[in-house]
Amino acid sequence: MDESRTPAIVSLERLRASLADVGLGLPLDAAQQHRDEAAAAVRQIDDYIRPRLADLDAPLLAVVGGSTGSGKSTIVNALVGTPTSRAGVIRPTTRQPILVHSPADAGWFASDRILPGLARVRGQVTAAGTPASSAGDAPAASRINELMLLGIDRVPPFLAIVDAPDIDSVADDNRALASQLLAAADLWLFVTTANRYADAVPWRLLDNAAARSITVGVILNRVPPGAAADVLPDLRGMLDQRGLPGAPVFVIDEQPLDDLGMLPPTAVEAPRAWLESIAGDRAERARVAARTLRGAVDDLDRRVQVIADARRQQLDWVESAVAAVAHEYELAVEAVDDATKDGALLRGEVLARWQDFVGTSDVFRRLEGWVSRARDQATAWLRGRPQSVVEVETQIERGLHAVIVDQGGSAAGAAWASLQRSAAGRSIAQQHPGLRSESAGFAEASATLVRDWQGALMRLVQQNAGSKRVRARVLSLGLNVVTVALMVVVFASTGGLTGGEVAIAGGSAVVGQKLLETIFGEDAVRRLALEARRDLQQRVRALFDGEAARVTAALEEARMGASPEVLRRESEALLHDVERAAASGDRP
């Protein structure tokens, strides 16, 4: 079996892929913080968890970190016995991270096994007699993304030491790199001073170390004579309270540097011995590595839970936005439906043409002899005034088309307004300005809908003209006449009319209905009208669904990425695989 593809590694890679594509693009509260957290989790996987999970026996990485001016570079130089890092009063002195290792371990660090985002540069050991103020290459901002490798004999095998930039540097890139290096470490050597050990910034990082179970050693540097007795108890108490009770504290008294800017070897004898005791004991190295790894995986799980919650907030917002858009278009569908059953479509020109068409006043004078007169009247319509049929049909078509277009535009405007009510919605609207109004082809699509519906009504009439008697009546009147009568029955009501319009439109509808009942029968007419209305509703809904889909498609882009459930499930699987491997004594 390929050892690099253990179950834990497979689980980790799945989780990494989800975190890298987590989908937190909407500008909700704290979204940027959560995006940064997801990016940091991916870096932690790449820089530390993945390589350490693949090989617990690889050399340990000890990162020396601390605040500005705490003397990190001076201590690193003393630990390795030669100036490697620039030390001085100009801040920041450490711009390019330097990794010093035993020459025997060069192969471990030349590859991108750890810190794959940093390019490797092979450095030269400073010539004898070079002062610490001139150590290393001239600082350059571009080298912040390079890791200088130095092989030095005095560094014990299976241990590498990195001098990190200041954790509170004035340079953003330096602070970010310091955090990245500390997250990639197996153990920390944390440097502070007697007058700055209680600063908030260092303790935030030490809290993180405690959460990740990292092995930490603390160097209390530049301690004035006699001050250790006062400072040490307080510092140890703070370490105990913050979850680091076993962290060793090494005191370096305030003392002059030699001509090269170096501390005497005896000043760092204790921390050097501590590092060498870990590096020289394979079991201890494995214990430190396994402890830090388990802590990193646990910390990753805590991060994932927060990120999953943030992802859920994003998806919940999308759900609410989609629902708001659907609501606006549902209102538009209802508005069209109302307009087609309250008599509004039979106002004005349509009403006048229909009145001319049916001769309503004459019908009401002799309603009792309606059936015979209807046939005579229908024959007159067909032979003498066919243009009236076309005019009524055209006016209804125009009215229905106008209602659909108007409601489509209103729904688009309302959906756009709903997006403008939040920063997340505005960000989507900005990317899709065309959503401000209905689609470019909406008016033509509406016209097509009306024509198709009218055609469907004709087919409906034909399909229901089953018997010879019914077919003969339809043919005697004309298919257009019967279809127009059915449209009038579908649209006529007194809900939207007033005064004389009520009598005219209502009477006209009665004439149309009686005509249809003479042909098809009362039950059939009721069924035909219901079918015609249902067909129109379905067509309008499908048209508006297409318009709403333009907005929801833009919203759906925010759904892209891992789901909260997947994130949590993958993190749980990783924890389980790591714990199972540890319990069995196998490599995770």
Given this model, what pLDDT does residue 502 score? Answer: 40
Highest mean pLDDT among 35-49, 120-134, 339-353, 488-502: 35-49
Given this model, what pLDDT does residue 587 score? Answer: 55
Q: Which two tokens stand for residue 451?
A: 């024509």
Q: Which two tokens stand for residue 139?
A: 């600082």
State how far Cα 562 lies from the chain centre: 8
Percent of the chain with pLDDT over 90: 52
Give 336: exposed, middle or buried? Use CB within 10 Å, 0-12, 13-18, 19+: buried
**H-helix or E-strand spanning residue 223:** strand 215-223
CA R_g for the chain: 41
Lowest mean pLDDT of 158-162, 190-194, 476-480, name the range: 476-480
- pLDDT higher than 90, residue 35: yes
CB-based contact 212:298 (threshold 8 Å) = yes
**Residues in contact with 332: Cβ distance below 8 Å, sequence separation at least 6, in sequence order:** 407, 408, 410, 411, 544
Given this model, what pLDDT does residue 530 score? Answer: 87
Q: Which two tokens stand for residue 52?
A: 């350490």
Tens-place pLDDT, residues 383-433: 444 456 667 777 778 888 999 999 999 999 999 999 999 999 999 999 999
Whether a cis peptide bond, with omega within 30° of 0, leads into 92 is: yes
State whether residue 148 is helix, strand or coil.
strand
CB-based contact 186:198 (threshold 8 Å) = no
Residue 1 carries which side chain, given as an amino acid letter? M
Please state, in angstroms and rounded to a whole number, the distance separating the CA atoms of residues 492 and 505: 7
Tens-place pLDDT, residues 552-574: 999 999 999 999 999 999 999 99
Please state, in angstroms and rounded to a whole number, the distance separating the CA atoms of residues 209 and 291: 12
**Residues in contact with 94: Cβ distance below 8 Å, sequence separation at least 6, in sequence order:** 72, 73, 85, 86, 163, 164, 165, 166, 174
- Token match 């015979």: residue? 372
Please state, in angstroms and rounded to a whole number, the distance separating the CA atoms of residues 252 and 269: 10
Say which residue, 510 or 205, is predicted with more confidence.
Answer: 205
- Multiple choice CATH, 3-309+567-584, 3.90.960.10, 3.30.2090.10, 3.40.50.300, 2.60.40.2470: 3.40.50.300
CB-based contact 264:537 (threshold 8 Å) = no
Tens-place pLDDT, residues 55-112: 989 999 999 988 888 889 899 999 998 888 665 433 444 467 889 999 999 999 988 8
Confidence grade of residue 141 (pLDDT, cut at 50, 70, 90) = very low
State whether residue 93 is helix, strand or coil.
coil
Q: Give the single-character DSSP code of 48.
A: I
Given this model, what pLDDT does residue 206 score? Answer: 87
Please state, in angstroms and rounded to a whole number, the distance separating the CA atoms of residues 356 and 389: 10
Given this model, what pLDDT does residue 362 score? Answer: 43
Please state, in angstroms and rounded to a whole number, the distance separating the CA atoms of residues 258 and 261: 5
Given this model, what pLDDT does residue 350 score? Answer: 57
CB-based contact 284:278 (threshold 8 Å) = yes
* Rounded (10°) CA dihedral 110, 114, 119, 124: -40
Average confidence (pLDDT) over 214-229: 92
Tens-place pLDDT, residues 112-138: 888 898 999 888 777 666 666 666 544
- pLDDT higher than 80, residue 534: yes
Please state, in angstroms and rounded to a whole number, the distance separating the CA atoms of residues 332 and 418: 15
Given this model, what pLDDT does residue 320 score? Answer: 97
Tens-place pLDDT, residues 468-523: 667 766 666 667 777 777 777 777 754 433 444 444 444 555 556 677 777 777 78
Domain ranges of the chain: 3-309+567-584, 340-560
- pLDDT higher than 60, residue 358: no
Average confidence (pLDDT) over 257-273: 92
State whether residue 248 is helix, strand or coil.
coil
Given this model, what pLDDT does residue 91 score? Answer: 41
- Token match 């004579």: residue? 225
Q: Which two tokens stand for residue 40?
A: 């940091």
Is the pTM for the entire model greater than 0.85? no
Please state, in angstroms and rounded to a whole number, the distance separating the CA atoms of residues 123 and 149: 6
- pLDDT higher than 60, residue 314: yes
Given this model, what pLDDT does residue 359 score? Answer: 54
